[in-house]
Amino acid sequence: MIRSKADMNREILRLAIPNIISNLSVPLLSIVDVALMGHLDSAEYILTIGFGVMIFNFIYWSFGFLRMGTSGFTAQEYGKRDQRECLLILGRALLVALTGSLILIALKTPLLTLSLCIIDTTPEVKSHVGDYFAIRILAAPATMSLFAVTGWFFGMQNARYPMFLAITINLLNIGFSFWFVQDLGMKSNGVALGTLLAQYCGLIIALALFYKDYRHMLPSWNSSHLLDIDKMKRFLAVNSDIIIRTLCLMFVFSFFKVQSAKEGVVIGSANIILLELFMVIAFGIDGFANAAESIVGKYFGAKDERNFRYAIKRSFQWAMGLSILFVVVFYLFGRELLQIITDNQEVITAAIPFLGWIIISPIINTIPFIWDGIYIGITASKAMRNTMLISTFLFFLPTYYLLHTLLGNHALWLALTLLMFARGVSQTMLAKRAVFNRLK
């Protein structure tokens, strides 16, 4: 039976509100890190954090499938009421997380060397980035395991625990970083150390939460099915598409930061700060995308077409409402937000001409973000991968290279805006075949 409007709204908001709160804590943490550096004696520390975050976004979000894929698969099995398979999905995700993190740590030296070769900036910034990297790479096992556990909680229709984890981890991170930088006199290495400690504390808490509420599922565990060839092949096949999609997205933001640095320290720092505001919007709207993953995946697994379609419709409506709120906030208070992040007036002045791109971005970005959640929830990974590839190589890169000479730094922001627009249009065009026809 189709859910009433009120029931569907409650179901979406029950998952979306905790997701929004937890998601917003991520860019707010990054803003705090940038703000700690923004009040030091050199704008180079802002670039250091920008590049350090860029490197680890590229590395860790290459494994972002551990959250997204785990969420989609788990939600579908939850809809089928298969507890054993839900538990095995978590086991497979944790196995991949730990294996991948150990490989990253083993390859830390060549990874850092490659990263520094790509970054075009001053020797001082590169030195600070190296210090940051050497500390933060050690958090890989905790960070990647948290991806898996958080995705599993989402798939089990539990948004409260990811919210609690995100807020707790980020508060610990802020506290540690503030202590190391403000009290102990550390610089960007203090921010990295704060992240390292917070991630391992978060993993311990996550495992305790799992044991608290889900230990009743443990008797259904059967390790002989953990490496089921067909299930593992499907898990890896879907996740390989998500990896490609995520690598494209990380490439775009990394390219954005690298090209920003070529505009000089001041413009580069301004772009880093504006991009943090962009991420606030992205993570906020992603709260409804995460809710769509869980709810749409559940109805897809249960083969409930009417509620499946209704959940998609209501997810878009709620997300668009939030995007309008973001537009109003950034239009009215954009300059004030910049002044909170840094007291470097030269950087603030450089950022003001580009603030308009941030103001219009919520409306444009909402459509691809919600489609991402839907595609992930039903594991329609190929379509999501293909739309990202098209948008990156046919829209983002050509726009920048064709218009940079004419528009300067505005060409970067135009390219990013067109990327999101192209993703939304292409995902909408493919939705009938890739999403709706799969339940017929």
pLDDT recorded at residue 253: 87
pLDDT on residue 424: 95
What is the predicted pLDDT for the residue at 363?
94
Domain extent at residue 19? 5-439
Angular region, 380: left φ>0, alpha ψ -120 to 50, beta rest: beta
Residue 28: the pLDDT is 62
Whole-angstrom Cα Rg for the chain: 21
Separation of alpha carbons 375 and 72, rounded Å: 9
Domain count, the chain: 1
Cα–Cα distance measured from residue 409 to residue 259, given in angstroms and rounded to the nearest whole number: 9
Reading the block at residue 5, the tokens are 């409007």
- Main-chain dihedrals φ then ψ at residue 240, nearest 5 degrees: -65, -35
Q: What pLDDT does residue 327 have?
A: 95
Read off the pTM.
0.75
Cβ atoms of 296 and 431 within 8 Å: the answer is no
CA–CA separation, 23 and 162 (whole Å) = 9
Q: Given this model, what pLDDT does residue 321 score?
A: 93
Other CB atoms within a 10 A radius of the CB of residue 103 amount to 10
Residue 10 has what pLDDT? 84
User: In the chain, which residues have pLDDT < 70?
Assistant: 1-3, 23-45, 47, 120-121, 228, 232, 235-238, 440
Structure tokens at 310: 């209704």
Long-range CB contacts (within 8 A, 24+) of 203-206: 203/141, 203/142, 203/145, 203/146, 203/149, 205/165, 205/168, 205/169, 206/145, 206/146, 206/149, 206/150, 206/161, 206/165
Q: Closest Cα to residue 141, out of 182, 93, 101? A: 101
Backbone phi and psi for residue 264, each to the nearest 5 degrees, phi listed first: 110, 165
Q: What is the model's pLDDT at position 323?
A: 94
- For 110, residues 6+ apart whose C-beta sits below 8 A from its C-beta are none
- Report the half-sphere exposure of 111 (CA within 13 A, side-chain side): 17
Specify the pLDDT at position 19. Answer: 75
